Amino acid sequence: MWPLFALVLGLVVGSFLNVVIHRLPKGESIVFPPSRCPQCGHRLGPLDLVPVLSYLALRGRCRYCGGRVSPRYPLVEGLTGVAFLLAALFYGPGLEALLVFAFLAFLIALSFIDLDTYELPDALTYGLLLLGLLSAYALAFPLPFRESLDGALLAAGGLGLVAGYGNLFLRRFREGRAEVPVGPHQVHMAALLGALLGPGVGMALAFLAWGLSARTGRPVVLPDRLTLPLLPLALLLAPYLGASFLEALRGSLLAAGGLALAGGLYWAFRPAPPEEEEEPVAMGYGDVKLLGALGAWLGPYAFLALFLGVFAGALFGLLLRQRKLPFGPFLALGGVVVLPFGEALWTGYLRLLGI
């Protein structure tokens, strides 16, 4: 009965996710008005909204105008139902299973929105992050709170630095425009200072630069052409400065992750100013925030999810011969695989290496 309940619940939740996927990027309410046909605008009745079955019974057409209904709707419903069903095989009835269902629902919504818009809404990425931290704090599930918080900061900091180096190479080492009061420049500065002085001091100094930027209206930062090349050197010199390489790396990622997630939250509530000219980027910060959210659920195994996402994205890119693909769905896929199998995958990998 439990797997059947999970399947039905997933189908119903998938129907709601269709509303979220359609309306959230447009800034529309996901509650009002009630569901309507996107072509004729006629309000849909209960018989029109039965997940999957309504689409099959009406042969993919609107009951009122005969217009075609996108197969995306039953796909999202069916995918959510199957995902919940599979999760029910790993987690018995209880609050933990419901939290996993919520985890899956967030990732499905984020994936399809990213496919449509190449954007990952802050409401969903930070919602997933907050839910993971609250679950860890209240239930120590799926991780103790300290591991959850560290996982979020480490994951966001790591991908934030990957984005920073990628963007620097893409600009051919030209200095990018610094955002006021906070942006990637403070993240990169926090990473360097965190490696040299520890995560707490590095984060504090970067927050101080943020405050001074807000006060003066001008960027108070170190240039990327200085911080990013110096960071590997600081990590290599860490043993001569009283810290191990791993301690310096951890301090760097924690400080960078704190600034990345805090800065992203700031811009989520404050509209960004209009850009004079769009700069080329190798990776957007939506992916950074999504990996940070996964870190709250997966801890250090979030980097395994990142590896699986990169591998899957590269494979799909080659198969589809596409140079540009949204990364969010592949990160989400990595997170879905790693949540139940992360430890087993890592142990198997170490055995393969003979460790």
pLDDT tens sequence across 259-301? 999 999 999 988 665 555 667 677 889 999 999 999 999 999 9
Task: Give phi and psi for 268, each to the nearest 5.
Answer: -70, -30
The pLDDT tens digits of the residues spanning 163-199 come to 999 999 988 888 988 999 999 999 999 999 999 999 9
Per-residue model confidence as pLDDT tens digits over 244-255: 999 999 999 999
Indicate the range of 1-10, 50-59, 247-256, 267-276 predicted with least confidence.
267-276
What's the chain's length in residues?
A: 355
Specify burial of residue 9 (Cβ count, 10 A radius: 0-12, 13-18, 19+).
middle
- Work out the percent of the chain whose per-residue pLDDT is above 70: 97
Cα–chain center distance at 309? 12
> 58-95 burial, b if ≥16 CB within 10 A, otherwise e?
eeeebbbeeeebeeebbebbbbbbebbbbbbeebeeee
∠223-225-226 over CA atoms, to 5°? Answer: 70
- Looking at residues 1-10, what average pLDDT do you find? 96
Closest alpha carbon to 255 in 177, 158, 146: 158
- Provide the CA 10 distance to its chain's centre, in angstroms: 21
pLDDT band at 225, cuts 50/70/90?
very high
Range of lowest pLDDT (35-49, 88-102, 226-240): 35-49
Check residue 121 and give left, alpha or beta (phi > 0: left; psi -120 to 50: alpha).
Answer: beta
Q: What percent of the chain has pLDDT over 90?
A: 75
Tens of pLDDT, residue by residue over 63-94, are 888 889 899 999 999 999 999 999 999 999 99
The whole-angstrom separation of Cα 162 and Cα 130 is: 24
User: How does the average pLDDT of the chain come out, rounded?
Assistant: 92
Is pLDDT at 227 greater than 60 in this prediction?
yes
The span from the CA of 246 to the CA of 252, in Å, is 10
Q: Report CA 48 to chain centroid distance, whole Å.
A: 33
Q: Which residues contact 197 (CB under 8 A, 6 or more apart)?
A: 205, 251
Q: Give the pLDDT of residue 204.
A: 97
